[in-house]
Amino acid sequence: MNLKLKALTKSLWVFHAACSPCNNCDIEILDVLTPRYDVERFGIQLVGSVRHADVLLVSGVPNYKTAKRLKLLYEQAAKPCFVVSIGTCAIGGNFFRHSYNFVKPVDEIVPVAAYIPGCPPKPEAIIMGVVKLINSLKG
pLDDT number for residue 136: 83
- 125: nearest Cα among 82, 87, 81: 87
Domains plus CATH for the chain? 3-138 (3.40.50.12280)
Q: What mean pLDDT is predicted for residues 126-133?
A: 87
Q: What percent of the chain has pLDDT over 70?
A: 93
Per-residue pLDDT of 89-115, as tens digits, reads 888 888 788 888 888 899 999 999 999
Per-residue pLDDT of 2-33, as tens digits, reads 666 666 677 888 999 998 888 888 899 889 88
Helix, coil or strand: residue 98: coil
* Conformational region of residue 119, where left means phi above 0, alpha means psi within -120 to 50, and beta covers everything else: beta
